Amino acid sequence: MSLTILKQFNPVVPDAGVTMREIDSEEAVSETVGIILAVAITVMLAAWVAANVYGTAEKTKNTYLVSASAYDDGIGNIVVTYQGGQDHDKLVRLDVWILNGENQPDNWTWAPPEIGVTRKSNVPPTQKPDRIYIVATFIDGTEILIMDKYV
C-alpha cells in the first residue's frame, strides 16, 4: 500500500509553519468515485426532468391496421373497396377524397364501413391520373392515412 504525504498550511497560527500528515491513497480514490457518482446522478435526474417537461416522454398513440383498395374501372370511374383488417372493430369511419386530374373533388364518408363494400367516384374522367386519399378514424380519435395513391 502506498502512502501519500500531504502538506497542510495552518492559517490560524502564522508561525506554525507547514505540518505534514500521512493519508491513505485509497481515501482520495473513494472521494473521487463519490464525486463522479454524484455528477452522474445529477445528469440523469436533469435528463429525466427535461424529458418530462418538454414532452418527449408522452405516451404514443395506438397504431391500427385496416386497408382499402382503389382502381380505375376503365370507363372513368374510380372504384374504392374497404378490405377490413385486424382492427376493423375499432374503426369509426373512413373519409375518402378523390381528385381527378383537373382537381375536381369527390369525397364521401363511410361510417362505419362494412367489409367488402364498394363505392364508385362521381368525378368526371380526365386524361390525367386521379389521386385518392383515404383516412381511417378509430374509437380513440386516432386518424391514419391508409391510402394516398394515383390511379
Contact predicate 65/83, CB 8 Å? no
Q: Please state whether the predicted TM-score (pTM) of the whole model is above 0.95.
A: no
> What whole-number distance in Å separates Cα of residue 24 and Cα of residue 2?
7
Residues 96 and 137 in one domain: yes
76 and 33 in one domain? no
Shared-domain flag, residues 135 and 87: yes
Query: 110 or 128: which carries more pLDDT confidence?
Result: 110
**Average pLDDT of every residue of the chain:** 80
74 and 30: one domain?
Answer: no
How distant is the alpha carbon of residue 115 from its chain centre? 30
At 35-88, the pLDDT tens digits run 899 999 999 999 988 887 777 656 666 789 999 999 888 887 889 999 999 999
pLDDT band at 18 (very low <50, low <70, confident <90, very high): low
- CA–CA distance, 92 with 112 (Å, rounded to integer): 5
DSSP 18-60: EEEEEEEHHHHHHHHHHHHHHHHHHHHHHHHHHHHHTTTTPPP
**Which pLDDT does position 1 carry in this prediction?**
45
Looking at per-residue pLDDT, the higher value among 130 and 122 belongs to 130
Which domain does 19 fall in, by range?
Answer: 3-53
Q: Is residue 129 part of a domain?
A: yes
* Number of structural domains found in the chain: 2
Q: How far is CA 137 from the centre of its chain?
A: 19
Within-domain flag for 119? yes
